[in-house]
């Protein structure tokens, strides 16, 4: 065989192996859906004391984990109805329960003692409701996914959480749904339904691109597919577009798994190499070399137009 043919044969073998790897990995796509900042009491009040998202989830037949801010119950004058809303979230058999602090502070801003109080205050009702539903309250997620300013602060809070029997909950994929929902709700308020629909579709499209991106990052960082954890929020956008997103993910052969199943992936035992307070994906935190991490982050798909519209919106509100 000539050198040239040999090279071609090697190339074909590599392509073949790669295609095989993709085919195998396509079977292995899985994700746990996690919803933060539950319950959204202003949406609940605006919709006549009903949660559209909870109703949609009832018919989607998949496990979800929720991260609760009990402080939300007092955000308006309907405490009793809000309390019942939280109880109905927690009582759903498909729901895994998590604490997300009482009032959603950033640990890096308020320090150890104040944050510790927030963790404890955040579980008062939730723990009782979880017990009543026959569930454990074992998951915790940091607001903004900020785990502290430096490794000492991070280790100190981690020790407290472990001592309190909490599992600190990571995520791998998120898609700025908190930003899109602001634009979406503005369009709805203005009666601009075409614009609202376009924003909803762009949210779904971007999220799918991000799943593709993080699949690749997982391959680069761990050498294999990782059981993904998607982070989104209890908001109007997900009420209307999470079902479409789930459908598209299923079309991409994703299976919807519980948070416990996702976290059984050994990837979640990998050491973290990032010890700042930014709230980015755990896939990036597992990267040792900061330059490699930066280049992976720079390759992340984004929707610049939505970001600019959001900036303009927040400026006009000031």
Burial zone of 4 (CB within 10 Å; 0-12 exposed, 13-18 middle, 19+ buried): exposed
Which residue, 252, 211, 233, 237, is CA-closest to 306? 237
Closest to Zn ion by CB, 143 or 170: 143
Q: How far is the CB of 274 from Zn ion (least distance, A)?
A: 19
Instruction: Report whether 306 contacts 180 (CB < 8 A).
Output: yes
Closest to Zn ion by CB, 98 or 143: 143
- How are beta strands 167-168 and 139-140 bridged, if at all? parallel
- How are beta strands 139-140 and 30-38 bridged, if at all? unpaired
Q: Does 37 bind Zn ion (CB under 5 A)?
A: yes
Cβ neighbours of 207 (radius 10 Å): 25
Q: Return the range that interacts with Zn ion (CB under 5 A); candidates 32-40, 85-93, 148-156, 194-202.
A: 32-40
Q: Does 118 bind Zn ion (CB under 5 A)?
A: no
Q: How far is the CB of 232 from Zn ion (least distance, A)?
A: 10
x-or-dash string of contact with Zn ion, 265-284, rule CB under 5 A: --------------------
Q: How far is the CB of 282 from Zn ion (least distance, A)?
A: 16
SS3 42: helix
x-or-dash string of contact with Zn ion, 122-161, rule CB under 5 A: ---------------------x------------------
Kindly state the tokens that stand for 93: 């058999």
Q: Is 163 left (phi over 0), alpha (psi -120 to 50) or beta?
A: alpha
Which residue, 27, 109, 40, 106, is CA-closest to 68? 40
Q: Return the range that interacts with Zn ion (CB under 5 A); candidates 29-37, 44-52, 218-226, 234-242.
A: 29-37
DSSP classification of residue 198: H
Residues in binding contact with Zn ion, number by CB under 5 A? 3
Closest to Zn ion by CB, 36 or 265: 36
Instruction: Report whether 23 contacts 220 (CB < 8 A).
Output: no
Q: Return the range that interacts with Zn ion (CB under 5 A); candidates 31-39, 40-48, 193-201, 298-306.
A: 31-39
Q: Which of 32, 33, 35, 36 binds Zn ion (CB under 5 A)?
A: 36
| Closest residue to bound Zn ion by CB | 36
Closest to Zn ion by CB, 91 or 106: 106
* Residues 287, 290, 294, 297, Cα dihedral to 10°: 20
Q: Does 70 bind Zn ion (CB under 5 A)?
A: no
Residues that bind Zn ion (CB under 5 A): 36-37, 143
């Amino acid at each position: 065989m000539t050198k040239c043919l040999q090279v071609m044969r090697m190339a074909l073998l590599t392509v073949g192996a790669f295609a095989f790897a993709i085919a195998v990995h396509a079977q292995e796509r899985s994700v746990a859906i996690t919803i933060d900042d539950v319950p959204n009491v202003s949406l609940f009040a605006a919709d006549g004391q009903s949660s559209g998202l909870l109703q949609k989830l009832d018919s989607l037949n998949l496990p979800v984990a929720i991260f609760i801010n009990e402080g939300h119950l007092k955000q308006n004058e309907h405490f009793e109805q809000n309390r019942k809303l939280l109880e109905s979230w927690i009582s759903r058999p498909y729901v895994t329960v998590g604490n997300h602090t009482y009032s959603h502070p950033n640990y890096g801003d308020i320090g150890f003692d104040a944050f510790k109080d927030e963790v404890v205050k955040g579980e008062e009702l939730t723990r009782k409701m979880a017990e009543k539903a026959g569930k454990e309250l074992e998951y915790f997620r940091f607001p903004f996914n900020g785990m502290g300013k430096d490794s000492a602060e991070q280790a100190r809070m981690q020790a407290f959480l472990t001592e309190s029997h909490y599992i600190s909950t990571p995520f791998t994929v998120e898609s700025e749904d908190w930003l899109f929902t602001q634009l979406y709700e503005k369009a709805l308020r203005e009666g601009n339904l075409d614009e609202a629909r376009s924003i909803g579709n762009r949210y779904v499209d971007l999220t799918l691109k991000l799943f593709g991106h993080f699949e690749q990052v997982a391959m680069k960082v761990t050498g294999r597919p990782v059981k993904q954890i998607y982070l989104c929020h209890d908001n109007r956008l997900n009420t209307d577009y999470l079902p479409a997103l789930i459908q598209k993910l299923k079309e991409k052969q994703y299976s919807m798994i519980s948070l416990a199943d996702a976290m059984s992936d050994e990837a979640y035992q990998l050491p973290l190499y990032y010890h700042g307070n930014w709230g980015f994906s755990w896939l990036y935190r597992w990267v040792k070399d900061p330059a490699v991490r930066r280049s992976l982050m720079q390759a992340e798909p984004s929707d610049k137009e939505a970001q600019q519209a959001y900036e303009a919106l927040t400026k006009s509100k000031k």
